[in-house]
Structure 1
Amino acid sequence: MAVKYYTDDSIVQPQPVQCRVDVNPPAKADLFSSASEVPHNSVVAKNTVPALKPAPKTLTLFDL
Structure 2
Amino acid sequence: MNKTFAVVLIILALGLIAYNVTMVDFENPLKGDSTIALIGIVASLCAIVLMLIFMTSKKIDKKLKK
For Structure 1 versus Structure 2, the TM-score category normalised by the shorter chain is under 0.3
Larger RCO (alpha carbons 8 Å, 6+ apart): 2
Instruction: Output the TM-score relative to the length of structure 2.
Output: 0.25
Task: Looking at secondary structure, tell me which structure has more helix per residue.
Answer: 2
Instruction: Output the TM-score relative to the length of structure 1.
Output: 0.25
Q: Which has the larger radius of gyration?
A: 1
